[in-house]
A and B are shown apart, each in its own frame.
Chain A
Amino acid sequence: GENVEQHPSTLSVQEGDSAVIKCTYSDSASNYFPWYKQELGKRPQLIIDIRSNVGEKKDQRIAVTLNKTAKHFSLHITETQPEDSAVYFCAAILLSGSARQLTFGSGTQLTVLP
């Protein structure tokens, strides 16, 4: 099965700086990679995703890059703000048929210091 590793487990940055979270996956057949944000005491919510036929995707201050050869993908947050503080999870999945088993990374606690 798929295995997703996520680093770092904790990350502290100064407000306005950039934050980068990295994930690697094991199954080269995986073709969809979402990122979820979970604020304290709240449910995870999708913030951005990327398919394997795309190398990079941006949405305002967040971007995701994918390197299929190396089997890793990264979340980039620029101009960080205190409200970016949360746990971020990466995930990987093989979009095939009706199966939608996401395999999640272990999460990164991001703290943005004012």
Chain B
Amino acid sequence: DGGITQSPKYLFRKEGQNVTLSCEQNLNHDAMYWYRQDPGQGLRLIYYSQIVNDFQKGDIAEGYSVSREKKESFPLTVTSAQKNPTAFYLCASSIDPGQSNEQFFGPGTRLTVL
């Protein structure tokens, strides 16, 4: 559980501001993912990255951006273009798919737009 961390736990943002959510893992996992969770809904994929310097859009990428400069880190930026950013954001990672399909989740960041 402690192998994947997210910060901050709570984040407040004013409208029109960009904010960056941190996700770090020391599990030596190849793949990393960002999900958004809204009340009464499942997890929706924002972006994912299979390897360093490569990432792909998920189902709801509009208004978000990511980078994968290091294997351990996959920060998510919520831009002002995201119309409804208030949500719970979960980062996950998984090892080489040839070994396991399990995704390990971080503790999440709750973003609130004021």
> A and B: real partners?
yes
Residues of chain A whose beta carbon lies under 8 Å from any beta carbon of chain B: 1, 4, 6, 9, 32, 34, 42-46, 49, 89, 91, 93, 95, 98-107
With A43-B1, A98-B50, A98-B97 as known contacts, state yes or no: A104 contacts B105, CB within 8 Å: no
Q: Mark B24-55, 1 if CB is under 8 A from A, else 0.
A: 00000001010100001111110010100000
B42 and A89 within 8 A (CB): yes
A104 and B48 within 8 A (CB): no
Bound Cα distance A6, B108 (Å): 23
**Would you give 20 A-B contacts (Cβ < 8 Å), ordered by A?**
A6-B42, A9-B40, A34-B101, A34-B102, A42-B107, A44-B90, A46-B103, A49-B101, A93-B101, A95-B101, A100-B48, A100-B50, A100-B101, A102-B43, A103-B45, A104-B35, A104-B43, A104-B44, A105-B42, A107-B42
Of all chain B residues, the one with the shortest Cβ separation from A44 is B105
A104 and B42 within 8 A (CB): yes
Q: Does B106 contact A (CB under 8 A)?
A: yes
Give the B interface residue count (CB, 8 A). 24
| Residues of A contacting B107 in the complex (Cβ-Cβ under 8 angstroms) | 42-43
| Residues of B contacting A103 in the complex (Cβ-Cβ under 8 angstroms) | 45
Give A72 Cβ to nearest chain B Cβ, in Å: 16
| Residues of A contacting B90 in the complex (Cβ-Cβ under 8 angstroms) | 43-44
With A32-B101, A49-B101, A101-B58 as known contacts, state yes or no: A107 contacts B41, CB within 8 Å: yes
Of all chain B residues, the one with the shortest Cβ separation from A107 is B42
Bound Cα distance A102, B101 (Å): 10
